[in-house]
Amino acid sequence: MAKKKRGNNEGSITYRKDKKIWEARVTIGYNDNGTQKRKSIYGKTRQEVATKMNTLLNDVQKGIIINSEITVSDWYDEYLSKYKKNIVKKTSYMNYMQWGINYIKPMLGHYKLAELTPHIVQNFINQLIEKELSTGTIHLIFTLLKSSLRNAVNNDMINKNPAAYIKTPEIITKVSNVLEPEQQIRFLEVAKNAKYGDIFILMLCTGMRIGETIALKWDDINFTNEELYVKRTINLVKDLENPNAKWRKEYGTPKTKSSERTIPLQSTAIRLLKEVKSKQEENIKNLGNAYENENLVFPNDLGKLLTQSHMNQRFAAICKKADISGLHPHCFRHTFATRGFENGVEILVMKELLGHKNLQETADLYTHVMANKKINEMRKLEGTVAY
């Protein structure tokens, strides 16, 4: 019997005696030099292979040509380089690179894009959970992976996004501990006489982030109007694509657009800043040309930028002396919000002071002190029900 002649883009089905399976070879496109790009499909029966082949041929006819060779690792690098690098902040791009290095490439990188299935992606998420990453970090990593695969679909590299319907853990917002009133008193007593302690006192007065505080310049302080302008932060950055690159300090914009804000200053903060300025002017006078004046409010002794890691060490030293444990400098934002809640500051006002992007962020900070507030408020209702 004469072998049936097939038309363009059709495939041929043969039985592989060596492997005892059926195989179909399908033309899915052409290389730059005009040679055919072929894909093999395997199955236990001829009908199984024929069904798979017809599905693939249908995709080819629709223009959905699968690039079966590119790996998840290679595509992730290309996706970041072409679609993220020039539109996100350096710190965000560094996070994306780091997630790729630590998680996506080791667990998924060896798969070809066309091999990814929802089951494989779901298993990846489960592994992240087993590594005890925070739910917020897992969500961010998954969102980035899903976006990269959606982009691969848009570029006709895969038929559909295998991450489209994956179950991820519910995000649990962890609120940092806050300084209790008696702890705050002890902390302030030590900080008053500690090197760089004035930085933490100002953070308690304003709710500023540590990076925003050490990036402050005197031009950002308006003593006449008694207000402070948050315009920048300090980032520690490194070119992760260059193995010889070193970490460096760099000014950056605040976390979000809403983080660029004006903060009215309490009298305590005004007095503190005037004392800091007076001491700094005396230091500049004594050091002369040895002082590199960048107009920073809180520089090191020679006028240079401080680092957040250095401030973390100073904070730990003050906490140890004040007999306080389990805290991080970021707790000052939550302490500031807590004191505001306790003293009746409206949540919308607090949102603006903290520079939150949405009201939910502020509400999450207020929620953790609601329990004691509820108890006190319920006591006001004592005797209102006669029984």
Over the chain (387 residues), the average pLDDT of each successive run of 10 is: 43 85 82 71 90 82 63 94 90 92 95 90 94 91 95 83 89 75 94 95 95 96 96 84 80 87 96 96 91 93 91 95 91 90 89 90 72 70 77
Predicted confidence at residue 370, as pLDDT, reads: 63
Query: CATH number for the 72-154 domain, one of 1.10.3470, 1.10.150, 3.40.50, 1.10.10?
Result: 1.10.150
State in words which class domain 181-375 has: mainly alpha
Hey, how many other C-beta atoms are within 10 angstroms of the C-beta on 105?
17
Question: Dihedral (C-alpha) 339, 327, 228, 359: value to the nearest 10 degrees?
Answer: -60
pLDDT of residue 210: 94
Q: How confident is the model at residue 146, as a pLDDT? A: 96
Task: Report the pLDDT value the prediction gives residue 6, as an integer from 0 to 100.
Answer: 45
**pLDDT reported for residue 39:** 79
pLDDT recorded at residue 28: 73
Q: Residue 79 has which token pair?
A: 């996706």
Rg, Å, the chain Cα set: 30
Tell me, what's the pLDDT at 5?
A: 40
User: Could you please report the per-residue DSSP string of 300-353?
Assistant: -TTSPPP-HHHHHHHHHHHHHHTT--S--TTHHHHHHHHHHHHTT--HHHHHHH
pLDDT value of position 258: 87
The pLDDT value given to residue 222: 97
Are the CB atoms for 72 and 108 separated by under 8 Å? yes
pLDDT for the residue numbered 319: 95
Task: Please report the pLDDT score of residue 63 as a whole number.
Answer: 54
Assess contact for 209 and 333: CB atoms under 8 A. yes
pLDDT at 62: 62
